[in-house]
C-alpha cells in the first residue's frame, strides 16, 4: 500500500504569513472516504467532502497531541481512534478555528487503500521523520 502525503498550497502561504503555528494552534486530523478528491487549491475545511462516519469517530476528527517543531520538522504523537468501526481512505490535517470556513488546511494523506477497522483501535502512525518538513 503506497501512502502519499501532499501539502495544500494554502499551507505554504499560511506559514509565511504566520497564520498557522503548529505548536500552539489546535490542529486536528479528519478522516475521509475514497470519494474525497484531493485538490491542492482547497484551502479551508469546508472544502473537504466525504468525511467518514462510524463508531468511534467524531465529525471533525481528532486533536493532534504534543506537537513539536525542530530543525524545520513538525511532528506530534500518533493519532488514534478506539473501538473504531468505519472505512477510511485518507486523512486531512488542519487548524481548527471552530468554523469550517476559516479552518485552514495543512496536508492530505492518502492511505493508498481503504482501512476498515471493526471494533478496534485505528492509529495513524506519523512518519518517523516527522509529519512535515520545511527545507530550503
* Residue 132 pLDDT: 86
Contact 110, 38 (CB under 8 A): yes
Nearest Cα residue to 44 out of 121, 100, 97: 100
DSSP notation for 42-102: --BGGG---B---BT--TT-EE--S-EEETTEEE---EEEEEEE--EEEEEEEE--SSGGG
Averaged in consecutive runs of 10 residues, what is the pLDDT profile of the chain (136 residues)? 82 90 95 96 96 97 95 93 97 98 96 96 91 78
Report domain extents, the chain: 4-133
Amino acid at each position: 500500500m503506497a501512502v502519499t502525503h501532499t501539502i495544500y498550497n494554502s499551507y505554504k502561504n499560511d506559514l509565511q504569513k504566520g497564520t498557522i503555528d503548529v505548536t500552539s494552534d489546535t490542529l486536528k486530523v479528519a478522516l475521509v472516504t475514497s470519494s474525497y478528491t484531493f485538490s491542492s487549491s482547497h484551502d479551508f475545511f469546508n472544502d473537504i467532502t466525504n468525511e467518514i462516519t462510524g463508531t468511534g469517530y467524531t465529525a471533525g476528527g481528532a486533536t493532534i497531541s504534543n506537537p513539536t517543531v525542530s530543525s524545520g520538522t513538525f511532528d506530534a504523537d500518533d493519532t488514534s481512534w478506539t473501538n473504531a468501526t468505519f472505512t477510511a481512505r485518507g486523512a486531512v490535517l488542519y487548524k481548527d478555528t471552530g468554523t469550517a470556513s476559516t479552518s485552514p488546511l495543512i496536508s492530505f494523506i492518502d492511505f493508498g487503500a481503504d482501512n476498515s477497522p471493526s471494533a478496534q483501535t485505528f492509529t495513524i502512525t506519523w512518519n518517523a521523520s516527522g509529519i512535515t518538513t520545511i527545507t530550503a
